[in-house]
Structure 1
Amino acid sequence: MSNSTETTTRTLMIERVFSHPPEKLWRALTESPLMAQWLLKNDFEPVAGKKFQFRSEPMAQWDGLIDCEVMVVDPLKRLSYSWNALGLESVVLFTLTPAEGGTHLRMEHSGFRADQQQAYGGAKYGWQRFFDGLERLLDGGAA
């Protein structure tokens, strides 16, 4: 029996078309105060190589900190950063493409190991909520 399953990872992908131009979506993805409104409190700056943290409410056995590093900043097109917390070492990639009447946003969160089913399920639930919050923020005109 091979141990290939130990190195196989899963990727969570969420796609949504927002009825807003890429510039507005990009601001919501890259400006720290706006990110805090739909994602998590942070000290993010859109600079490749910049380390930052997302801060969530602390819970049992977790201080609420997510250690990240900006990997790719391709304005209005792609944004990627590492996402490391609770033993999960993963990567988040946002891709923006023009769509009929707005912008298509694809989010890929990759790096979930087979033994991280709970983390994968939590991320799936969390990112759906985050995307709903992003939609509310954009529709509210704040971005």
Structure 2
Amino acid sequence: MTTPVPETRSVVIERTFPYPPARLWRALTQPHLMAEWLMKSDFAPEVGRDFTLTGDWGAVDCTVIEIEPERTLSYTWRAMGLDSVVTFSLRPDGSGTHLRMEQAGFLPDQEQSYRGAIYGWAKMFDALEAVVAKTD
């Protein structure tokens, strides 16, 4: 007899930025830029590398799962009972870049975390846009 796997939900944010993928990639992978829109971190773009995101409210333990420069970045996101995966997908779109972020793995009893992620990622994408606008 197998134990049923509970269904999970995902938070998905998509936005097209008027910048090339390389410019967004830097903001997604360089710790000094990540600190401006996401959180402080000791991130390094290496598959299997553990890193920590630190914010005013606490810390997130992460492990890099996948990296395809200027295309895909995926890492685990473990904090406050949530064990999820965050994946950024970049695709050229005209003269800009379409960025898709998915945080997958919210269990049915994690409604507060799910709603918090919807709110938080929308704010972080606004901050990301501001960071990318001022970098070159």
| 1:24 to 2:23 alignment | yes
TM-score normalised over the length of structure 1: 0.90
Q: How does 1:43-58 map to 2 (within 5 A)?
A: 43-58=42-57
Structure 2 unaligned segments of length 5 or more: list them.
none
TM-score normalised over the length of structure 2: 0.95
- Partner residue in 1 for 2:131: 137
Q: RMSD across aligned C-alpha pairs, in angstroms?
A: 1.2
Query: Per the alignment, in what secondary structure is the counterpart of residue 75 of structure 2?
Result: strand
Q: How does 1:33-48 map to 2 (within 5 A)?
A: 33-48=32-47
| 1:96 to 2:90 alignment | yes
Aligned counterpart in structure 1 of residue 77 of structure 2, from 75, 83, 101: 83
Q: Residues 56-110 of structure 1, C-alpha deviation per residue, up to 9 Å, x if partnerless? A: 114xxxxx01000000010010000000000000000000001022000000000
Query: Per the alignment, in what secondary structure is the counterpart of residue 134 of structure 1?
Result: helix
- Partner residue in 2 for 1:69: 63
Rounded to whole Å, the distance in 1 between the matches of 2:94 and 2:67 is: 24
Rounded to whole Å, the distance in 1 between the matches of 2:49 and 2:92 is: 27
Rounded to whole Å, the distance in 2 between the matches of 1:65 and 1:130 is: 16
Greater than 2 Å deviation, 4+ residue runs: none
Identity %: 49
Rounded to whole Å, the distance in 1 between the matches of 2:82 and 2:75 is: 14
Letter in 2 for 1:81: Y
- Partner residue in 2 for 1:61: none
